[in-house]
Structure 1
Amino acid sequence: MATEKSESTGQLPMMKLSLLGLLLVAPFIALSASPMSDNAALWFFGVLPVIIGLFGGSRLAFGAALLTPTLMGISLLLRDFPLAGAIYMAIVGAAVGFSAMRGWHGMASFSAPLAAFALIGAPEVALASGTVPADSSFRSGLVMVAFIAAGGLWTLLVGRYISAELELHRPPSVSFRVARYFALSLAGMVGVATYVDMQWLHSPASWWIILTLFVVVQPYYAASGRRVVARVVGTLVGAVLALLVVDLLQDYPLAISIVALVLTMVAPVLNMKAPYWGYVSFLTPAVVLQTTGGTDAIVSGTIERAVYTVIGAVAAIIVLTIGHAVVMKRSRTKEGRSAVLHGS
């Protein structure tokens, strides 16, 4: 009798989570099946930062719901100005670094790359007249921002009830000294990478270099080294997974969108319980499937994004290793001077 009651009690949260999950994805599925299905990708952009933000609480998730469309909206205004775009992304990188003092960098590291996508990538908006580039007019830009904000706010509205049923661990914060080095590293690398992307590469997929920098550069050097390896492995595995999805479902674009959303929901759970490369293996195809055009573009774009990921990861580890060596040398020098003064 007690066992039956226990099983019944355990089934209630699962049923509740299932219903909330269906409620969470319902607008995305409806949008994907509508004549304006291209806007489903915009809705998708608002989802992941809020999901990560929920690990820090509803207030942080609400901030993510507003921050992501704001950053992307500003980016649209700077697409034709490489220097201004580089300075802007450097400021965003510094802000992500200093946000680590509050433990907000997990969420911020997902909002910031989307700013790079709006700045360098090829976001599109479905209007009544057809699908157009998001930067083609003030109206298209406003529609982009509105759909991203709607996706984030809906995820917050439903996700807060889902998170209440789960045991989420708040991201740790770091000291000002650590955050300062973190901010300088991100600002410098992201700023330079953005300028190179906008001035010389002229490839919409090159924003993946900046995405890689935001996710592999961590407050501590050892963690960054582990992330570089895991990012490359996870991206390559995820690229293969994306190609398999396209091969199996190339005639069913709605099914591809649903798979991308499911992968997005599963990825944060893996981030809690699985190695980082496993998390990236699921998140990579989710992002690829939603930020690339038709199925033909997904195939070529997946390979190109994998290459840019490797470039970003290699560049990050080289710069971080040099910077770490310089910092350690200065620390030993200061310790030596202090010892001399103390001994005298």
Structure 2
Amino acid sequence: MTNRQLGIRLALLLLIVAAPILPFTLLWPGVVGVALFGVLVAVFAWISGGARVAIPVTVALALLGILGIVCRDHTWLLALILLLLGIGYGVAASRGIGSAVLQLPILVPYFMMRPPPLFTDGPAEVTPLYLLAVGVIVVLAGLWTVLVLRKAMGRRALKVVDVADPRAAIVHGTVLGVLSAIVVTIAQTSVTNLHWVWVTLTLYLLANPTGPVNAKKMLYRVLGTFAGFVVVGVLLLTGLPHLILVSLAVVSLWACLFFYVAKRPYWQYVVFLTITVVLMDSSDASTVVLDAERIGFTVLGALLAIGSSFVVNLLMFRRRHALADEA
């Protein structure tokens, strides 16, 4: 299949996925934004392991998202959830399937920081009906996405990558969980309305628990992430309506999938993944303070990701060196 054929097929698939979702926006505001969470997690989980992986991961996002909303006023519970997500990601990465669950520690914090608007154009009113609707929409959007991918692309086997040191992957994931827990604790107990999710987003986008630190690849990941934030910043400054920005997130998702499936350089994929995820949370008006916060938290997330990678690799290198000396 040529790149042109691949791009056309992916575009058609996304149009088919979006077709039954978009009309509901006319009835209930916010449906597209919530459904996009299910679409995004289902797409990347399906790429990593087909329907058998995508379905449980989608359900997990719905349940964890609801849990994050319910616990949003209990900082220690949010910190515990993020810690466990980091450990879980590390365990999955140690088995070579980290990419299948990567969207969970990236997307769950968005539910914690601010419940996605639904049934209203303003802040969400969290009621039992709202929580049920969020879960149902995420799951149904994810299942529909999996069904379309399954019919159009056929079966897909679980993709397992080689892991240089499984123990290091678990340690790295745990460190990411600890850092995420610290970030949410500081954000929840200091200044309200901080967009701390940009720290955790950058942290996980740049992390690579499955192998040793590669300075060149890390540089490309950092540049790709920053490029994505720059593009989003420019789009938000134009004052485009939220619905258009969410629609652009779908276009960005198409580009993200194309670069991923076509096996282009990782930084190109990261650019559009960053744009997609951030545009999903574009309901805030762009201001100088917000843009500065976005840039600052991105820099902080990049520094934490780079620092944690080098520290974990240094510790594990010393451990392997000590074991070699004992042998």
Q: Deviations over 1:114-144 (max 9, x none)?
A: 211111x2233322xx345446322222222
Residue 80 (structure 1) aligned with residue 73 (structure 2): yes
> Could you tell me which of 161, 170, 186 is aligned with 1:180?
170
Matched-pair contact (CA < 8 Å) for 2:65–2:111:
yes
Residue 109 (structure 1) aligned with residue 99 (structure 2): no
Matched-pair contact (CA < 8 Å) for 2:38–2:58:
yes
Distance in 2, Cα, partners of 1:178 & 1:54: 26
Residue 154 (structure 1) aligned with residue 154 (structure 2): no
> Could you tell me which of 42, 46, 53 is aligned with 1:54?
46
> Could you tell me which of 227, 236, 253 is aligned with 1:264?
253
Q: 1:224 to 1:202 in 2, by over 3 A?
A: farther
Q: 1:151 to 1:336 in 2, by over 3 A?
A: same
CA-CA distance at 1:149 after TM superposition: 1.6
Q: 1:309 to 1:163 in 2, by over 3 A?
A: farther
Q: 1:228 to 1:319 in 2, by over 3 A?
A: same
CA-CA distance at 1:241 after TM superposition: 2.1
Alignment partner, residue 330 of structure 1: 319
Distance in 2, Cα, partners of 1:35 & 1:215: 35
Distance in 1, Cα, partners of 2:157 & 2:258: 10
Distance in 1, Cα, partners of 2:260 & 2:7: 20
Q: How does 1:241-256 map to 2 (within 5 A)?
A: 241-246=231-236, 250=239, 253-256=242-245
Distance in 1, Cα, partners of 2:50 & 2:30: 31
Structure whose residues are more often helix by fraction: 1
CA-CA distance at 1:147 after TM superposition: 1.7
> Could you tell me which of 33, 41, 55 is aligned with 1:41?
33
Residue identity over aligned pairs, in percent, reads 23
CA-CA distance at 1:173 after TM superposition: 5.3
Q: 1:334 to 1:69 in 2, by over 3 A?
A: same
Q: 1:336 to 1:299 in 2, by over 3 A?
A: same
Distance in 1, Cα, partners of 2:109 & 2:294: 14
Alignment partner, residue 124 of structure 1: 116
State the number of aligned residues: 323
Q: 1:131 to 1:325 in 2, by over 3 A?
A: same
Counterpart amino acid of 2:114? A
Residue 210 (structure 1) aligned with residue 173 (structure 2): no
Counterpart amino acid of 2:140? A
Q: Deviations over 1:62-110 (max 9, x none)?
A: 1122111111111112211112211121011111111124433113111
Distance in 2, Cα, partners of 1:84 & 1:14: 42
Distance in 2, Cα, partners of 1:17 & 1:114: 23
Distance in 1, Cα, partners of 2:123 & 2:220: 34
Alignment partner, residue 30 of structure 1: 23
Q: How does 1:178-327 map to 2 (within 5 A)?
A: 178-220=168-210, 222-223=212-213, 225=215, 228-246=218-236, 250=239, 253-272=242-261, 273-293=263-283, 296-297=285-286, 301=290, 303-327=292-316
Q: 1:80 to 1:224 in 2, by over 3 A?
A: farther
Distance in 1, Cα, partners of 2:5 & 2:87: 44
Distance in 2, Cα, partners of 1:298 & 1:266: 27
SS of residue matched to 2:286: helix
Q: 1:323 to 1:257 in 2, by over 3 A?
A: closer
Q: 1:189 to 1:217 in 2, by over 3 A?
A: same
Q: Find the structure with the greater CA-based Rg.
A: 1
Alignment partner, residue 5 of structure 1: none
Matched-pair contact (CA < 8 Å) for 2:21–2:35:
yes
Q: Which runs of 5+ in 1 are unaligned?
A: 1-10, 339-344
Distance in 2, Cα, partners of 1:144 & 1:134: 11
Distance in 1, Cα, partners of 2:96 & 2:313: 22
Matched-pair contact (CA < 8 Å) for 1:96–1:105:
yes
Alignment partner, residue 341 of structure 1: none
Matched-pair contact (CA < 8 Å) for 1:54–1:163:
no
Counterpart amino acid of 2:302? A
Distance in 1, Cα, partners of 2:214 & 2:176: 12
Matched-pair contact (CA < 8 Å) for 2:14–2:254:
no
Residue 93 (structure 1) aligned with residue 78 (structure 2): no
Q: 1:289 to 1:302 in 2, by over 3 A?
A: farther
CA-CA distance at 1:168 after TM superposition: 8.6
Matched-pair contact (CA < 8 Å) for 1:43–1:148:
yes
Q: Deviations over 1:259-279 (max 9, x none)?
A: 211111220221242222211
Alignment partner, residue 6 of structure 1: none
CA-CA distance at 1:223 after TM superposition: 4.8
SS of residue matched to 2:117: strand
SS of residue matched to 1:293: coil
Superposed CA RMSD: 3.1
Q: 1:329 to 1:200 in 2, by over 3 A?
A: same
